[in-house]
Each structure stands twice: as C-alpha cells, then as structure tokens.
Amino acid sequence: MELFGYSIWMVALICVGVFAAGFVDAIGGGGGIISLPIYLFAGLPAHNALGTNKMSSCIGTVASTVRYIKNGFVKWELAVVSIVCALVGAHFGTRLQLMVPEKYLQYMLLAVLPVVAFVLLRQRTLPETERPMAPWKRRSIVWGASLLIGVYDGFYGPGTGTFLLLVFCVLGKMDLRSASGNVKLVNLSSNVGALVTSLTAGKVLVPIGLLAAVFSMAGQYLGAGLTIKNGAKIVRPVIITVLLLLTAKVIVELVVQ
C-alpha cells in the first residue's frame, strides 16, 4: 500500500521521526540531525530530502515560535535585526555552498565542536535569568551570531539552533527562555530562505512535506512547552546529546567520502 508514491510504512516512519525531531529542536536545536536521515532512509533522493525537510521543519518551527511569543519570551529589540541578519547570512551561505566543497566545513566543525562542548560542560546550568550587559554589546553579539550562523545554516545546517542558543545564553548573557524564543525567530528566518530556494528549484515533495509538517508542529509545540516549564533542567542534556550526534554525523560523512 502506497501514499504519495511511497510505502505507507515509510511515510509513517517519516511522520514519527519528524515529530521526534521537532520535539528535540524546540528544546535545544539540532532537530535536522534526526529528521534528515529519516527522509533519506525513506528513499527520498538527497536534494528532495533536503528540500522536503526544510518544508516540514520550517512550518513546524512556527508552532514553537508562536508559543514563545505568546508567553512573552521574545526580545523584539533584538529580534527584528536578527531576522534580517539571518536571511542575509543564509542567502550568502547557500551561494557559498555552490562554490566550496562541503568537506572543508566538516573539517572546521570537527575543530569547533569540542570547543563548544567544553564551554557547555563548564557551564553547570544555562542561565534562568538575564545577566547584566551593555545593550550595545548584547546587540552586537546577537546580531553578529545571527549573521554568521545564518551563513552556516545556508551552507550546511545541522545544529544551527543549538549554536545560536549557546551564543545567546553564554556570550549574550540572555536568560534561557528569551534566548530560546529569539533563536526560534532567527532559525525560522534562515529556514524560510532555504525553503524558498528549494521550492523554486522544484526540490520539495509538497504532499509529504505538508503531512510531516503537522507532526513537526506537534513536536515543536510540546517541546517548547517543556522548555518554558522546566528550563535548563532539560535543555542542557538535550544540547549535549545533539552535539554528540552532530560530531558522529560529521565523522561518518567524512569516512564515507
């Protein structure tokens, strides 16, 4: 029995996997590490998997973003410029992707990931309250990170939300919940840029993407609620797990190449 040209069991696997990815992504970022391999395992060609994954994750992210906004965990004085920076960064990151072999970025990630893990492990808890910092300095950090990590998202992608959350909390000294809300807006912006490009290139399987988006939204909504309720108690372990999975993913891809 088939649905949208694929086995109904494979479509069901995509929906379950995307739900789990959305749940994890709303808590600590990195949902793409789960969802993209699921699309590939289901038999979608690589470009279609990437494009369809962007559709489901982009629509799904709206659910967690709305929940953070509704609960007042978005700092709009930072968010507006961050959105623009992310869109610009993702655009140039995608263009750069066409010129630079992906393996060079993977080598860079292998050097960066241990540093990120070290910083996180030294940080016993992610801050529940905002710490004092000059407004201009916080803006510079948040906007600069939105631009640079937006470039990364357009170029490669996995772990974008995790990296943003760590920079906003550790360097930008934002409280965890406001940082999570702003991260969602930035990540949503870069995803929209990538989705538009994939749609115009005809690389999105729209029926599967829309169905999976329903499950992604459910996962994102529940994950956001858990973060708002439990804060750093659940976010830190999830981020550590995401970093370990991302490291394993990069190593496997380099070995396969």
pLDDT of 23-69, one tens digit each? 988 887 778 778 888 887 888 887 788 789 889 988 988 988 998 99
Cα–Cα distance, 33 to 157 (Å, whole number): 9
Query: Residue 125: what residue type?
Result: T
Cα–Cα distance, 134 to 101 (Å, whole number): 39
pLDDT in tens, 100-112: 665 666 676 666 6
Q: For residue 120, what pLDDT is reported?
A: 58
Phi, psi of 2 (to 5 degrees): -120, 155
Contact predicate 113/243, CB 8 Å:
yes
Phi, psi of 42 (to 5 degrees): -70, -10
Q: How confident is the model at residue 123 (pLDDT cuts 50, 70, 90)?
A: low
Q: For residue 95, what pLDDT is reported?
A: 74
Mean pLDDT estimate for the chain? 83
Does the reported pTM lie above 0.85?
Answer: no
CA quadruple 96, 97, 103, 106: dihedral sign: positive
